[in-house]
Amino acid sequence: MKVMLCQNCKLKEATVSITRFIGGKKEELHLCKDCAEELLGGGDFLNFDFSLPDLLGTLLKQASLPRWEEIKHPTVKCPKCGLSYEGFQEIGKLGCSECYKTFRSKLTPLIKRIHGNMKHSGKVPHRAGEELNRLREIEKLRRELEEAIRKEEYEKAAELRDKIRELEGRRV
């Protein structure tokens, strides 16, 4: 079977399909997960269990869909505050905490140049730290759950699912 390649990078396998209507014309877009995340400013919704209707719904809600011809050289904008990297370069300030995720690959060398270091080794806030640990734990359990389902260990899977639900419910 021939693998469909991502229409943006033309390197990786396209696993995300997006249908949209522009001027009454139906267009279909096939992207790899990485490109979809980058182009569509993907937040966490692409990370776990996303389903196509959800993704589409989110996309359609976004006011500024990338135009077809812009896809190849898109201006990536922070999904939370709308700042682009060019905007950051102009004002020298980032717009929100999500900007650090959105522009991570560009900010990393910049921050390394400024500080000569890359890893925070100072104080860790209690709450954000706790949240971080909670998310990490959920991620780990999800992997275990997939494994359990694959091995058809349904009892264990049920246990894991309960644990995940409990952790997800415990927002700080």
Q: Which residues bind another protein (CB under 8 A)?
A: 80-83, 91-97, 100-101, 107, 110-111, 114-129, 131-132
d(Cα 56, Cα 62) in Å, to the nearest integer? 10
Q: Is residue 76 involved in binding Zn ion (CB under 5 A)?
A: no
Nearer to Zn ion, 12 or 142 (CB): 12
Nearer to another protein, 57 or 109 (CB): 109
Position among 35, 40, 157, 160 found at the interface with Zn ion (CB under 5 A):
35
Nearer to Zn ion, 78 or 164 (CB): 78
d(Cα 42, Cα 37) in Å, to the nearest integer? 4
d(Cα 101, Cα 16) in Å, to the nearest integer? 21
Nearer to Zn ion, 37 or 153 (CB): 37
Q: Is residue 78 involved in binding Zn ion (CB under 5 A)?
A: yes
Let me know if 40 is exposed, middle or buried by CB neighbors in 10 A (0-12, 13-18, 19+).
buried
The answer to whether 125 and 107 are in contact (CB under 8 A) is: no
Residue 2 identity (one-letter amino acid): K
Taken in order 113, 117, 121, 127, is the CA torsion positive or negative?
positive
**Least distance CB 135 / another protein (angstroms):** 10
Contacting positions for Zn ion (CB under 5 A): 6, 8-9, 12, 32, 35, 78, 80-81, 95-96, 98-99
